[in-house]
Amino acid sequence: MKFYKYHALGNDYLVINPQDLSFALTPEKIKIICDRNFGIGSDGILLGPLESKTAEFALRIFNPDGSEAEKSGNGLRIFSRYLWDMGLVNDKPFSIETVGGIVKSVIQDAGKTVQVEMGKVSFWSSDIPVVGDKREVIQEPINVGDETFTFCAATIGNPHCVIPLEEVRSDIARKYGSILETHPFFPNRTNVQFMKVINRNTIQIEIWERGAGYTLASGSSSSAAAAVAHKLGLCDAFITVKMPGGEILIQVSEDFTISMTGSVTKVAQGELSAEIFTG
């Protein structure tokens, strides 16, 4: 099986063309492939391009725990760069179908930067989903172990829990992220962002990604956190999102449609040995 490895601000994915697969990509095999000791190591697998009736390409996204993600901003930028590297797209906009909706990508800087129209953010509990009466989930309390946070929930095709704080650190994300991911409020689990607003055009986030754990960067998390900051009136429409792995630029339109721009780096390409599944 051939693979292509890229990272987007330290969030790394393997791109696998289904034509190169000689076995079923089961959750068990995904776990081994993504393992950093027993496999190649990655934050997930991007399976594509697949055929689509509604877009030029289709993509499936798998987390390292074997579960499937509806959408990934960094994954979409990486997959867009892969399509560019394979000569399947040029510098014109193109569409990609995901489980979480259709997005549009544009390649910039010869593939080193990609802009993705991520779709529209919703804060409605029925869309995310969040348990309870139908409502916009804004500034509600949530109990996590020995702590009570105030959170906002959002979806951009996948669920997010955004917690504004005066200071954010990796240890906070590592301590509370897994508990929030599986909190009873979120029937489909959730991605978690701890957010500090620096100024009207800048936020900082620490991320716990559903199915992946602590993560250096995330495009969909950046989109959700920026949308929440804008929704709360704390930030303007153009927002730089600072993460441990680097920065992403988010533009929030009046209807909360998100445009995300960030870098992509090619790491390696190679061939997987079937021997890793027999150890």
- Residue 272 near residue 14 (C-beta atoms within 8 A): no
Above pLDDT 90, what percent of the chain? 97
Which pLDDT score, from 0 to 100, does residue 149 have?
98
Residues 6+ apart with CB under 8 A from 9: 74, 216, 217, 243, 245, 246, 247, 248, 262, 263
Alpha-carbon distance of 45 to 212, in angstroms, equals 11
pTM of structure? 0.94
Q: What is the CB neighbour count within 10 angstroms for residue 167?
A: 8
Return the beta strands (E) in the chain as ranges: 2-8, 11-16, 45-50, 57-62, 68-69, 94-98, 101-108, 113-120, 140-144, 147-155, 159-164, 191-199, 202-209, 213-215, 238-243, 246-252, 257-263, 265-271
* Rounded Cα–Cα distance for residues 123 and 135 (Å): 8
Distance CA 120, CA 233 (A): 18
**pLDDT tens-digit series, residues 62-93:** 999 999 999 999 999 999 999 999 999 999 99
Task: Compute the C-alpha angle 206/208/214, nearest 5°.
Answer: 90
Q: What does the block give as tokens for 24? A: 């079923």
Q: For the chain, which domains are there?
A: 2-117+264-277 (3.10.310.10), 140-261 (3.10.310.10)
pLDDT at 270: 96
Q: What is the mean pLDDT of residues 133-154?
A: 96
Residue 146 has pLDDT above 90, yes or no: no
Over the stretch 20-58, which tens digit does the pLDDT of each residue have?
Answer: 998 899 999 999 999 999 999 999 999 999 999 999 999
Q: Report pLDDT digits (tens) over 213-268.
A: 999 999 999 999 999 999 999 999 999 999 999 999 999 999 999 999 999 999 99
Does the pLDDT at position 279 exceed 80? no
CB 117 within 8 A of CB 86: no
Please determine, for residue 173, whether its predicted confidence score (pLDDT) is greater than 80. Answer: yes
Q: Which residues contact 27 (CB under 8 A, 6 or more apart)?
A: 65, 66, 67
